Amino acid sequence: MADRPIRALVAKVGLDGHDRGAKVIARALRDAGMEVIYTGLRQTPEQVVEAALQEDVQVVGLSSLSGAHMQLFPPVVELLRAKGGYDILVIGGGVIPEEDIPYLKEAGITEIFGPGTPTTRIVEYIREHVS
Amino acid sequence: MFDRDYVQQLEQKQAEWEQRVAKEIEKRPERKKEFTTDSGIGIERAYTPVNIGAKDYERDLGFPGEYPFTRGVQSTMYRGRLWTMRQYAGFGTAEETNQRFKYLLEQGQTGLSVAFDLPTQIGYDSDHPLARGEVGRVGVAINSLEDMEILFDGIPLDRVSTSMTINAPAAVLLAMYIAVAEKQGVPADKLDGTIQNDILKEYVARGTYIFPPRTSMRLVTDIFAYCAKNVPKWNTISISGYHIREAGSTAAQEIAFTLADGIAYVEAAREAGLEVDEFAPRLSFFFNAHVNFFEEVAKFRAARRLWARIMKERFGAKNPRSQMLRFHTQTAGCSLTAQQPEVNIMRVAFQALSAVLGGTQSLHTNSFDEALALPSENAVRIALRTQQVIGYEIGVTDTVDPLGGSYFIEALTDALETEAQEYLERIDATGGAVKSIELGFMQQEIQESAYRYQKAIESGEKMVIGVNKFQMQEDTRPALLRLDPAIAERQVERLARLREKRDAGRVAAVLQRLREAAVGTDPLMPVILEAVRAYATLGEICGVLREVFGEYKAEQVV
């Protein structure tokens, strides 16, 4: 297999400082053979998109536990598409009520992984959906 | 605690017993090859006087309310008065939170605990571009004294104690609280409460820092000095292991990193010219009550003993109040599951019980729906009732430290103390807590533990009911609290009106004085108090300090 490894950006959007989950997922993706960049805290959607394009990633994982996901996740997809990142997969996680999920999916966040999701499921999902 | 000859005889008999048991196990193996606590401390089949034979009752346990306070900081503990039942609450604007506070007080809660939204915690007003999506989310938005007046409307501040989870801008929110009290006619020396004000753990685990560590320490000690003179009943800091544990640390790391931060504050205050017994009685702590029941009970006891020894032996504190580790506890947010959320009610009850058996001074019990959203009123009521059942129904409050003397609990208390002590020595050798944080040592250790814990869940080695064991298809979901999306707009409008109507000249002048004090070495609290009285906003005050002190940027290592 001479395939180049999947490149992933794990991003904390908004002001929320809970990054245990984001860091655990970054580690799990790396252990699964992906190249992972973690943005650190307090990123705006604009900063996330810039990092995603600059680092040439195939998947962006967004994390928010503060309830700001409805305002902060959709602009990431919008800006990515506007700047030419058409094929970049965008997924999300955190404390996200089930009734918010249809809206987020509509906005182009293709999957939401809530608390209790095994990291292996996220790895499989990314492998299946990255083009 | 036992005669040496007796322990020796017993050791012999115990070895024989183990041999008899080994034969039985060949036929009927135990459930696991090795038993450990969640933090990886080995657990023996049974504990006997052999495990604690070397302990000296007076030296290592002592009587309740006496050094080294292993059994509790008060002599009568809950026979005298129960812990303060204090539910952390705040969302939306000051009006909504004021209503929730009044509801909780009517339900028998005995103290208030304010949750601020993230922009407030990071020193931004609600109209700042970075506040997008976050206004009123995880707490209440407070921009100015005007919001604070609404928050405490109808709540007499001389009759309630208030805890505020605020760190980087703690001085500003404390100043607002003092100013509201003034308007109610309550002098500052009558105020009772706590500000978290623990900036070090923000860099380690919680993330709501603003300024770099060393300038932040100036603000912390500035508050110590101001309160020692003017707000003597106020707990000037709540040194927090809670978030360190939530970020994934083990129990021993929680004790060690928290006490290491505590040591750094004591040293900083002494360098600022304060005497240890002048400020140390007002230091308070905040711990997590996690899922491994006995380990948690032992953790609280070990932390108390270790801190008492540090204060007495290392810092020469003479006042017993300086040696007492008084603490608030919150049940473990990270243990709550989104799956079968009602089961969280049980988890919270066991965690709360461990805090009570560990001798907590105040307690927050989490609501069962918090892995899904902000807690609903119904879920908060059940959480509070859980404390009331423990306090009033089941009899665990009738004697002090009921688990004291248990062979297992005492052995576990020792094991945790020893492991924490080893970490403290490593941190000292590195140059202390501030240096360790700058080098990322604590952060790295916590991340390792967090990853190990996750792996243990995924391999099934660690069971979480409803998540990796006894799962089921779920169709019904509890009714969740939904925030009105217009909250942010309303808050921004109120802020705009405030900027119109206040005396702009007075605000500009006081902000200039603040800048001068920050550049120099003058105390900051008195100027900040003047600024909030003039209705300068939190964002404006922190903005001036940002310009002078700069902002912290975290190194990212994963």
Interface of A with B in 106-125 (CB under 8 A): 114-116, 118-120
**Band of the pLDDT at B18, cuts 50, 70, 90?**
very high
Query: Which chain B residues are within 8 Å of A67, Cβ to Cβ?
Result: 137-138, 373-374, 483
Instruction: Tell me if B134 and A14 make a contact (CB, 8 A cut-off).
Output: yes
Interface test with B, best of A9, A10, A12, A15 (most B CBs within 10 A): A15
Instruction: Tell me if A20 and B248 make a contact (CB, 8 A cut-off).
Output: yes
Of B338, B373, B558, Cβ closest to residue A26:
B558
The pLDDT of B392-409, averaged and rounded, is 98
Of B133, B208, B477, Cβ closest to residue A72:
B133
Q: What was the pLDDT predicted at B557?
A: 67
Higher pLDDT, B538 or A66: B538
Give the domain ranges of chain B.
4-52
Q: Would you call B163 exposed, middle or buried from its count of C-beta atoms within 10 A (0-12, 13-18, 19+)?
A: buried
The pLDDT of B332-350, averaged and rounded, is 97
Instruction: Tell me if B554 and A40 make a contact (CB, 8 A cut-off).
Output: yes
Contacts of residue B296, defined as CB under 8 A and 6 or more positions apart, other chains included, come to: B251, B289, B290, B351, B354, B355, B358
Query: Which chain A residues are within 8 Å of B339, Cβ to Cβ?
Result: 116
Q: What was the pLDDT predicted at B172?
A: 98
Instruction: Tell me if B130 and A42 make a contact (CB, 8 A cut-off).
Output: yes
Answer yes or no: are the C-beta atoms of B294 and B306 closer than 8 Å. no
Query: Which chain A residues are within 8 Å of B372, Cβ to Cβ?
Result: 95, 97-98
Q: What was the pLDDT predicted at B480?
A: 81
Q: What is the pLDDT of residues B125-143, one digit of tens each?
A: 999 999 989 999 999 999 9
The overall average pLDDT reported for chain B is 95
Instruction: Tell me if B373 and A118 make a contact (CB, 8 A cut-off).
Output: no
Query: Which chain A residues are within 8 Å of B244, Cβ to Cβ?
Result: none
Tokens 């709501």 sit on residue: B208
For B404-468, give the DSSP string: TT-HHHHHHHHHHHHHHHHHHHHHHHHT-HHHHHHTTHHHHHHHHHHHHHHHHHHTTSS--BTTT
Contacts of residue B407, defined as CB under 8 A and 6 or more positions apart, other chains included, come to: B47, B48, B49, B51, B52
Q: How far is CA A31 from CA A11, A15, A24, A26, B451, in A?
A: 18, 28, 10, 9, 11
The pLDDT of B535-539, averaged and rounded, is 98
Distance from CA of B5 to the nearest CA of A (A): 50
Three-state DSSP class for residue B490? helix
Instruction: Tell me if A119 and B374 make a contact (CB, 8 A cut-off).
Output: no
The pLDDT of B134-156, averaged and rounded, is 96
pTM of the complete model: 0.95
The pLDDT of B383-409, averaged and rounded, is 98
Q: What is the pLDDT of residues B48-94, one digit of tens each?
A: 999 998 899 999 999 999 999 999 999 999 999 999 999 888 889 99
**Band of the pLDDT at B556, cuts 50, 70, 90?**
confident
Among B138, B73, B108, B112, residue whose Cα is nearest residue B321: B73
Answer yes or no: are the C-beta atoms of A126 and A93 closer than 8 Å. no
Q: What was the pLDDT predicted at B451?
A: 95
Instruction: Tell me if B134 and A27 make a contact (CB, 8 A cut-off).
Output: no
Instruction: Tell me if B458 and A118 make a contact (CB, 8 A cut-off).
Output: yes
Using an 8 Å CB-CB cutoff, list residues of chain B that contact chain A. Answer: 118-119, 121-122, 124, 130-134, 137-138, 202, 206-208, 246-248, 334, 336-339, 370-374, 447, 450-451, 454, 457-458, 464, 466-468, 477, 480, 483, 554, 556, 558
The strand order across the sheet containing B327-331 reads B84-85, B362-364, B327-331, B283-289, B237-240
Query: Which chain A residues are within 8 Å of B130, Cβ to Cβ?
Result: 15, 42, 44
Least confident of A41-50, B18-27, B470-479: B470-479
Distance CA B408, CA B415 (A): 10
Q: What is the pLDDT of residues B231-250, one digit of tens each?
A: 999 999 999 999 999 999 99
Instruction: Tell me if A20 and B137 make a contact (CB, 8 A cut-off).
Output: no
A63, pLDDT greater than 50: yes
Query: Which chain A residues are within 8 Å of B454, Cβ to Cβ?
Result: 24, 28, 119
Q: What is the pLDDT of residues B211-225, one digit of tens each?
A: 999 899 999 999 999
CB pairs under 8 A between A and B: 106
Which residues pair with residue A90 across a beta bridge? A60
For chain B, give the percent of residues with pLDDT over 90.
91
Architecture (CATH level 2) of domain A7-129: 3-Layer(aba) Sandwich (3.40)
Give kind and range of the element (H or E) at residue A1. Answer: none
Of B134, B207, B337, Cβ closest to residue A41:
B207
Q: What angle do CA B239, B120, B260 make, to 5 degrees?
A: 15
Three-state DSSP class for residue A77? helix
Distance CA B125, CA B533 (A): 17
Distance CA B260, CA B430 (A): 12
Give the domain ranges of chain A.
7-129
Q: How far is CA A80 from CA A76, A85, A92, B246, B553, in A?
A: 6, 5, 15, 33, 25
Q: What is the pLDDT of residues B277-317, one digit of tens each?
A: 999 999 999 999 999 999 999 999 999 999 999 999 999 99
Q: What was the pLDDT predicted at B26?
A: 94
Distance CA B94, CA B80 (A): 35
Q: Does A42 touch chain B (CB under 8 A)?
A: yes
**Band of the pLDDT at B346, cuts 50, 70, 90?**
very high
For chain B, give the percent of residues with pLDDT over 70.
100
Instruction: Tell me if B372 and A38 make a contact (CB, 8 A cut-off).
Output: no
Q: What was the pLDDT predicted at B2?
A: 87
Q: What is the pLDDT of residues A10-36, one digit of tens each?
A: 999 999 999 999 999 999 999 999 999
Neighbours of B377 (CB within 10 A): 14
Distance CA A90, CA A111 (A): 8
Q: What is the pLDDT of residues A45-56, one digit of tens each?
A: 999 999 999 999
**Band of the pLDDT at A1, cuts 50, 70, 90?**
very low
Contacts of residue B8, defined as CB under 8 A and 6 or more positions apart, other chains included, come to: none
B387, pLDDT greater than 80: yes
